[in-house]
Amino acid sequence: MKLRKVEEHVFLFLMRLSALLIGFALLAIIWSIFSKGLGSLNWQMISEVPKGGYYFGKEGGILNAIIGSLYLSLGATVLALVIGLPIALFINIHLSKRRRLVNVVRLILDILWGVPSIVYGAFGFTVMIFFGVKTSLMAGIIVITALILPIMIRSLDEVFKEVPMGLKEASYSLGSTKSETAYKVYVRQCVPGLVTAVLLSLGRGIGDAASVLFTSGYTDNIPTALDQPAATLPLAIFFQLGSPIPEVQNRAYAAAAVLTIIILVISILARIVGNKYQKNKIKA
Amino acid sequence: MENPKIKVQNLNLFIGKQQILKNVNVEIPEKKITIIIGPSGCGKTTLLKSLNRLTDIYEDINVQGNIFINNEDILNTKTDITILRKKMGLLSQRPYPLPMNIYDNIAYGLRISGRKQKKYLDKRVEHYLKQANLWDEVKDRLKSPASALSIGQQQRLCLARGLAVDPEIILADEPTSALDPISSQYIEEKFVQLKEHYTIIMVTHILRQARRIADYVVFMYLGEIIEQGTAEEFFNNPQQEKTKAYLKGLFN
Amino acid sequence: MKLSDLKISRQLRSKLHNKWMYLCFAVILILAPALLFGLYIKSAPLFEQNGFSEVIFSNEWKPLSGKFGFLSFILSSLWVTILALILSVPVCILTSIYLIYYAKGFVLKIMHPIIDILAGIPSVIYGVWGILMIVPMVSKDIAPFFGYETTGFSILSGAIVLAVMIIPFMLNILIEILRTVPEGLIESSLSLGASKWQTIKFVVVKKALPGIVSSIGLGLSRAFGETIAVLMVVGNVVQNPTNVFDAGYPLPALIANNYGEMMSIPMYDSALMLAALILFVIVLIFNILSRILIRRYEIKVA
């Protein structure tokens, strides 16, 4: 009898320790990134491109990477939405009677979600070589789109799944077609969920390094056209951290701080919208 | 019956292997209130939904037979389903306002039929909101979201929305079951007024409600039509044993 | 006349949209087979030239003389992945049970955002953290404690970073799984006189076991393909690791570090695509098995 109690207490202690460890890990990550990166972060850092080459030049900042990352991730997110939204609607409206098929499609999407980004990157690179395409903003956008598409579709899908059948019936009873039901009713009903899905995809897109490593190249300049290479924050960190020059390393740490801040902001925004959505759902 | 608005012939409906409607034959008179009544689970809602083919959107449903509306068999027709559905307004158990403001909820049906002039829409929206006794309560906040209305107001909004597509038939599936007594009364009174222009079919399991407003009654039990006839005959002189038992309150 | 015109345009719009929708849908369905096929076509020449067993079971890696033995990369990947799982699985299981059955409201309120944020932090940031904190810790504290000497860029550092990365991922799945254990089952066990802990140990864990296994499978496939973070701390030395303080060179790192030269050395491109193919196939197998195992729970798995 006593032993049982002791066992429970030991495990409860271990459970608390585990949860604490996770919290501590996040603090440790944020602390080490910010304590190293915030010091190097100043106006010059975020308003200038590197001078004298990103790997050796001691002057300049990381504007090339910030802009490059924004171009890439925004472009890919928009593209993924344009492709993903119709698919998510298709699954929930046109295929709603064929649950078996829908389950298979969901399985495929879940599996695609699990494909490592380096596989997308490597595949994208061979396709580019095959067609003689150089590393560019466009190539990067396409590969990131492929990477975030499963995330986009499945998150949208989860949101559309929650739309009550009665609303669908109401829409059809008024004589709506399927696509009117999709875009005028479903999409409007799910705006907050849609925003969350977009933010989630954006966060994944902006932070991924392995896929753009092969496809978007790297440059000190800000790209002005889709066929030019583009720098990105993850690669700005990865490449510049490898430099032996402390000033260049500082640029990497600053880039890490900027990327972390962007991710935190996206995370918080998603949480706020998500909470609001929860409230609406209970009300509806 | 002379010139029934709707004629259901030999309708059988299966969900998977389970038979929900068994050889249903019903005639529904024009510009009257027809009440479909019966204990819960008897298939009355399913029958109602087959009338505007909402059964199309559910999985594994198999429908056989004929449903004639204005002498057109809607189960075997080439007419676009959206046009058929516009002839029928649906009022469901719970109100489902569209995710937009009050004005747009009413204007929605008109807009998807291509009527987009603002002046015309303004007039129609006001007209139908008045029809549903909602205008005075919402005229100052037409642009606020429909979900902010009370449940009773939402149900009247849904009625106005349904009327706005200019239907000939109103299908109502226990439209008062989620409402407070006052809102319920509104809806009932409205139906009595509306039958001058519309054919109304309402599903309910409340006997007293049926007694209050029915012109014609269809009694269902376990997927079958047990008895149908005018309200007077049905309530005062039922023919079937099951009907008698039901009227005495022996079923739930 | 005007009304019917509008109807046609409405139908046309609907048709065009449907075409686009079918096209998008087809793209998604083709994507995975295309990946598999493309990688296979590119890597097949290596098999044909060097033979399957030599490629997989030899550790002779001399690209310039056409020797491509993957063994040390495969072993490194296994070391890092399995060690990461050993570190993270107990933490995840304990934390998920804690959050579902013991934690009070405010703990949940704190832990949910923490898990969310951890899940959202990019791989490269984990890598920087690894370099700043884990690598020195391994080199100065952990390795000397066990009597080893290391730069800190080692299998262990990679595994620790990787463990923290996959914790939020596995934890979210576990939480969803535990939520599906019916309340009634727990109550009936409690009413038979079992303590809360006994109920968890004998009823909850047993009921959720397939889910727990599949969450580990999903964690494994996630860990196996992780690239940048591991690459930054694992040392990247081609050798068969003998202990956790040795440097390793996992498959994803191989691809990421060498793609620049892949067109300059004969067969090198085939070799790197083979590495990607191996990754893809292993991830695919574990993913499919785990997802099928998890299907019956009807939960969303992010």
Model pLDDT for residues B55-71, shown as the tens digit of each residue = 888 888 899 999 999 88
pLDDT of residue C302: 45
pLDDT of residue C7: 57
Q: Which CATH superfamily is domain A41-283 in?
A: MetI-like (1.10.3720.10)
Whether C47 and C105 map to the same domain: the answer is no
Q: Is A134 on the interface with C (CB under 8 A)?
A: no
Question: B74: distance to nearest CA of chain A, Å?
Answer: 14
Whether C187 and C255 map to the same domain: the answer is yes
Whether C149 and C239 map to the same domain: the answer is yes
Does the structure show a pLDDT above 50 at A281? no
Counting residues of chain A whose pLDDT is more than 70, the rounded percentage is 97
The domains of chain A are located at: 2-39, 41-283
End-to-end CA distance of chain B: 31
**Whole-angstrom Cα distance, residue A84 to residue A147?**
12
pLDDT of residue A274: 79
Contact B5, B57 (CB under 8 A): no
Does residue C213 fall inside a structural domain?
yes
pLDDT of residue B252: 55
Better pLDDT: C235 or A58:
C235
Helix, coil or strand: residue A132: coil
Does the structure show a pLDDT above 90 at C214? yes
- Could you report the per-residue pLDDT of C33-72, keeping only the tens digit for each? 999 999 999 889 888 888 888 888 888 888 888 888 899 9
Does residue C285 fall inside a structural domain?
yes
Dihedrals φ, ψ of A46, to 5°?
A: -95, 0
Does residue B1 fall inside a structural domain?
yes
Does the structure show a pLDDT above 80 at B137? yes
Residue partners of A190: CB distance under 8 A and separation at least 6: A156, A159, A160, A162, A163
In this structure, of A154-163, B181-190, C46-55, C137-146, the range with the lowest mean pLDDT score is C46-55
Q: Determine whether the interchain pair A123/C38 forms a contact, defined as Cβ–Cβ distance below 8 Å.
A: yes
Whether C137 and C206 map to the same domain: the answer is yes
Does residue B135 fall inside a structural domain?
no
In this structure, of A262-271, C210-219, C287-296, the range with the lowest mean pLDDT score is C287-296
Residue C299 confidence class, pLDDT cut points 50, 70, 90? low
Burial tier of B118 (Cβ tally within 10 Å: 0-12, 13-18, 19+)? exposed
- ipTM reported for the complex, 2 dp: 0.93
Whether C18 and C127 map to the same domain: the answer is no
Does the structure show a pLDDT above 60 at B22? yes
Does residue B252 fall inside a structural domain?
yes
Whether C51 and C87 map to the same domain: the answer is no
Counting residues of chain B whose pLDDT is more than 90, the rounded percentage is 65
Does residue C64 fall inside a structural domain?
no
The pTM of this model reads 0.89
Q: Where are the alpha helices (DSSP H) in A185-245?
A: 187-189, 191-207, 210-215, 233-241
Dihedrals φ, ψ of C215, to 5°?
A: -65, -35
- Could you report the per-residue pLDDT of C79-131, keeping only the tens digit for each? 999 999 999 999 999 999 999 999 988 898 899 999 999 999 999 999 999 99
CB atoms within 10 A of CB C79: 24
Cα-based distances in Å from C39 to A127, C42, C76? 10, 5, 22
Whether C7 and C139 map to the same domain: the answer is no
Does residue B247 fall inside a structural domain?
yes
- Mean pLDDT over all residues of chain B? 91
Whether C51 and C78 map to the same domain: the answer is no
CB atoms within 10 A of CB C290: 26
User: Which of residues 5 through 44 in chain C touch B, CB cutoff 8 A?
Assistant: 6-7, 10
Domain count, chain B: 1
Does residue C300 fall inside a structural domain?
no
Of the candidates B100, B106, B111, the residue with the CA atom closest to the CA atom of residue B162: B106
**Which chain C residues are within 8 Å of B113, Cβ to Cβ?**
3, 6
Domain harbouring B5, CATH code: 3.40.50.300
Does residue C152 fall inside a structural domain?
yes
Query: Could you tell me the sign of the dihedral formed by the alpha carbons of C290, C294, C298, C302, in that order?
Result: negative
Domain count, chain C: 2
**Which chain A residues are within 8 Å of C287, Cβ to Cβ?**
110-111, 114
Residue B114 confidence class, pLDDT cut points 50, 70, 90? confident
Does residue B166 fall inside a structural domain?
no
Does residue C238 fall inside a structural domain?
yes
Does the structure show a pLDDT above 70 at B110? yes
Six token digits for residue C239 = 């050798």
pLDDT of residue C6: 53
Residue B250 confidence class, pLDDT cut points 50, 70, 90? confident
Question: C147: distance to nearest CA of chain A, Å?
Answer: 26
Does residue B42 fall inside a structural domain?
yes
Of the candidates A165, A283, A95, the residue with the CA atom closest to the CA atom of residue B45: A165
Contact C209, A22 (CB under 8 A): no
Whether C39 and C103 map to the same domain: the answer is no
Six token digits for residue B35 = 């009440």
pLDDT of residue B71: 87
Q: Residue C85 corresponds to which amino acid?
A: L
Q: Which domain holds residue B233?
A: 1-84+215-252
Chain CA centroid to CA A12, Å: 35
Does residue C65 fall inside a structural domain?
no
Of the candidates C117, C50, C93, the residue with the CA atom closest to the CA atom of residue C213: C93
Counting residues of chain C whose pLDDT is more than 90, the rounded percentage is 56
Contact B225, B25 (CB under 8 A): yes
Residue A280 confidence class, pLDDT cut points 50, 70, 90? very low
**Which chain A residues are within 8 Å of C137, Cβ to Cβ?**
none
Q: Which domain holds residue C288?
A: 70-295
Subunit partners of chain A (3 or more CB pairs within 8 A): B, C
Six token digits for residue B161 = 């929305």
Does residue C63 fall inside a structural domain?
no
**Which chain B residues are within 8 Å of A98, Cβ to Cβ?**
59
**Whole-angstrom Cα distance, residue A50 to residue A73?**
21
Whether C49 and C80 map to the same domain: the answer is no
Helix, coil or strand: residue B145: strand
**Whole-angstrom Cα distance, residue B236 to residue B220?**
18
Give the helix/strand (H/E) hosting A96: none
Residue partners of C249: CB distance under 8 A and separation at least 6: C72, C73, C76, C234, C235, C236, C237, C238, C239
Does the structure show a pLDDT above 80 at B29? yes
Whether C40 and C169 map to the same domain: the answer is no
Cα-based distances in Å from B143 to A167, B101, B164, B238? 20, 5, 18, 50
DSSP string, A270-282: HHHHHHHHHHHHH
Question: B80: distance to nearest CA of chain A, Å?
Answer: 10
Does residue B118 fall inside a structural domain?
no
- Could you report the per-residue pLDDT of A9-33, keeping only the tens digit for each? 999 999 999 999 999 999 999 999 9
pLDDT of residue A1: 57
In this structure, of A43-57, A101-115, A239-253, the range with the lowest mean pLDDT score is A43-57
Does residue B119 fall inside a structural domain?
no
Residue partners of C102: CB distance under 8 A and separation at least 6: A12, A15
Cα torsion at C291, C292, C293, C294 (round to 10°)? 50
Six token digits for residue A21 = 């460890």
Helix, coil or strand: residue C233: helix
